[in-house]
Amino acid sequence: MEYDNIAIEDKGEYAVITINRPGALNALSSTVIAELITAVNEIELNDDLRVIAVTGAGDRAFVAGADIGEIRDLGSSTGEALAEMGGNLLALIESSVKPYIAAVNGFALGGGCELALACDFIYASSAASFGQPEVKLGIIPGFGGTQRLARRIGVGKAKELILSGDTISAEEALRIGLCDKVVAPDQLMIAVKDVAQRIARNGPLAVAEAKKLIHVGQSMSLDTALLLEQRTFGALCATEDKAEGTSAFLDKRPASFRGK
């Protein structure tokens, strides 16, 4: 499918979604969000693509936030509708069976920070910066920032960032656990490619179930989550992928997983 504001590159076992509005610092307008929803749903149906990276065009911004010109004209009902739309996009990413990697190459502010938080992990350029500055506009994060940020870095630090609206460096984001790796700008996509390929070589059913268990387990008691893990382990033991993976290990050869 052709898109006006995003580009999708099929790299074989993984894909790269690029938000392509560098003149607007890749801001998330409702049109961009709609295209991203379509793209994520399309990618979900492609079994050959096992890992997805998300980045922004140019070297200034991953996503500098939502489209402020659009937000200026919102009222109560239209504002809630935009927040619901953005929330739906990030829920799709978070619940996908495929791992998503945020490749943050510049500003990840507001909706950009929220988009990164919905991904499974975040790699950042040393020139990147993060923040939830919505309070400076008289609003709050609307795409899940108040919830995902607190769950990722803790309530106190999330309050400090959201209530101050401050922007922090990539190194500070790494220190507090907001991102997972920081590399030189020219090494960002190399690092993302490396981890994407390593994940893609693993059993796709196992990767999908591990992602789901880690996510849903956060809202369960430990005993319930452990029971679910045990049942999932048992279910995976009956798959063709388990038979292939164990045989390949014993035969000292690379596994060829089929997702069955």
**Residues 97 and 208 sit within 8 Å (Cβ to Cβ):** yes
Query: Cβ atoms within 10 A of the Cβ of 85, count?
Result: 16
> Would you call 134 a catalytic residue per the annotation?
yes
Query: Coil, helix or strand for 56?
Result: strand
Among candidate residues 13, 70, 114, 244, the one labeled active-site is 114
DSSP 8-state class, residue 126? T
Query: Coil, helix or strand for 183?
Result: strand
Cα–Cα distance measured from residue 135 to residue 37, given in angstroms and rounded to the nearest whole number: 26
Beta bridge partners of 63: 108
Query: CA gyration radius for the chain?
Result: 19
Nearest to 65 by CA among 116, 91, 26: 26
Among candidate residues 9, 70, 80, 134, the one labeled active-site is 134
CB within 8 Å of 56: residues ≥ 6 apart: 18, 19, 22, 25, 26, 62, 63, 105, 106, 112
Distance, C-alpha 45 to centroid of its chain: 18
DSSP 8-state class, residue 256? -
Cα–Cα distance measured from residue 1 to residue 76, given in angstroms and rounded to the nearest whole number: 33
> Would you call 171 a catalytic residue per the annotation?
no
Residues noted as catalytic: 114, 134
